[in-house]
Amino acid sequence: MDEPPGNGPRVETVPDGDDRARLVCPDCGYIAYENPKIVTGAVCTWDGKILFCKRAIEPRKGYWTIPAGFLEMGESTAEGAAREVWEEARAKIAITGLIGIYEITRISQIYVVHRAEMTEPAFAPGPESEDVALFAYEDIPWQDIAFPSIRWSFEQYRENTAPAIHCHRD
């Protein structure tokens, strides 16, 4: 996006036709909208086991999660999930469905979690992962799971139902 002329948005006001305060440039009228971040990822399986990454970065460094991260501009959520799986676990996948959407309003994030199958058994830690492993469901280290959204993803995955939407407001 192009930089607005002048010094850019710097006055907080409610623009005409809006109902929320926004940063507005008094010189050109440019409005800086802040919107939720979209996180996308996948519950990936190989031979009945689930792919996990041990985080090498904060937040929750050293805890296990599914491969996931922020959606990039111009990507679909499925494309972003496949990219994140490659970046974090060096695994190739085929997206097979949508598990659900997890809305975390207190941090303005929306998680879109896909169901996927690894297309080959190869995987390795990427730059954001300390370790990568396949776990049978009964062997998942629940006490070391990084985020509540991951638990929710597995509940939905195990139920194998239609995609779900969950809103977490804490």
| Grouped pLDDT means (10 residues each) for the chain, 170 residues | 57 90 89 91 96 96 96 97 98 96 92 96 97 95 92 85 66
Query: Mapping DSSP to helix (H, G, I), strand (E, B) and coil, where does residue 152 land?
Result: helix
The CATH number fitting domain 1-34, selected from 1.10.3470, 3.30.700, 2.20.70, 2.60.40? 2.20.70
Q: Where are the domains of the chain?
A: 1-34, 37-168
The CATH number fitting domain 37-168, selected from 3.90.79.10, 3.40.50.620, 3.90.1150.10, 3.40.50.1820? 3.90.79.10
User: What pLDDT does 159 receive?
Assistant: 84
User: What pLDDT does 29 receive?
Assistant: 86
Q: Is the pTM of this model over 0.75?
A: yes
Secondary structure element (H or E) that encloses residue 89, with its range: helix 77-89
